[in-house]
Amino acid sequence: MQDHFLEEVVVKHRNGVNRALYMLSWIVIVVSGFAAAISFSTVTRSLATGAFYWPGLVMLLASGGICAYTFFFHDRLLTEYEYTFTNGALDFAEVYNNKKRKTLGSLNVRNVECFGKVNSEAFRRYVNMPGIKRMNWFLNREAELYFFYFTKDQEKRMIILEPSEELAGYIRKYLPRDAWRE
């Protein structure tokens, strides 16, 4: 039997705004870090003289907090999704700026109750079910989107993703009978 393996990376098609925000985030990091350093020196100088300067402490906390928050989360502006298909098992990951990787989970395609295109009647029926947990693992709304519907740990779940036609074809080969909906 031939192995079926395919790995895809989904990137945002129009990424100019996110790239501009990413560059702007570096400016915010540098400016707020510089402001935190100046505020720190002001606070330490005021402690040395014996008269504590409260506005300096507030400025230190605010600028230091902005610097740290922006530094730790600015890579999320350049997010990609990675789908890895291996003989019926589909692994999902979120990649931030080609540096940090967050594993989202795995799915055995044989356990799926329904798979189809987002613009289908089946999708509209499943998405409106009460108590469904929906996971959007796609970046381009204008792309051909597909969905998985399955139950895990007594919880109804739906994954929406944007695979290529080749990956969708591999998935259809491993689906249980009557799971494919157009």
Number of structural domains (the chain) is: 2
Decide: 149 and 134 in contact? Cβ < 8 Å.
no
Beta bridge partners of 151: 156
**pLDDT tens digits for range 126-163:** 998 999 999 999 999 999 999 999 999 899 999 999 99
In one-letter notation, the amino acid at residue 171 is I
CATH of the domain at 147: 2.30.29
Residue 19 has pLDDT above 80, yes or no: yes
Do residues 38 and 87 share a domain? Answer: no
pTM over 0.95, yes/no: no
Q: What percent of the chain has pLDDT over 90?
A: 82
In one-letter notation, the amino acid at residue 109 is V
Decide: 179 and 150 in contact? Cβ < 8 Å.
no
Expressed as residue numbers, the domain containing 123 is: 5-11+81-181
* DSSP line for 130-176: TT-EEEEE-S-TTS--EEEEEEETTEEEEEEE---HHHHHHHHHHSP
Mean pLDDT rounded to a whole number for the chain: 93
Beta bridge partners of 94: 81, 102
Do residues 37 and 105 share a domain? Answer: no
Residue 119 has pLDDT above 80, yes or no: yes
Do residues 39 and 121 share a domain? Answer: no
Decide: 136 and 72 in contact? Cβ < 8 Å.
no
**pLDDT tens digits for range 33-83:** 999 999 999 999 888 888 888 899 999 999 999 999 999 999 999 999 999
Do residues 63 and 95 share a domain? Answer: no
Give the per-residue pLDDT at 51: 84
Domain termination site, one of 60, 76, 92: 76
Residue 1 has pLDDT above 60, yes or no: no
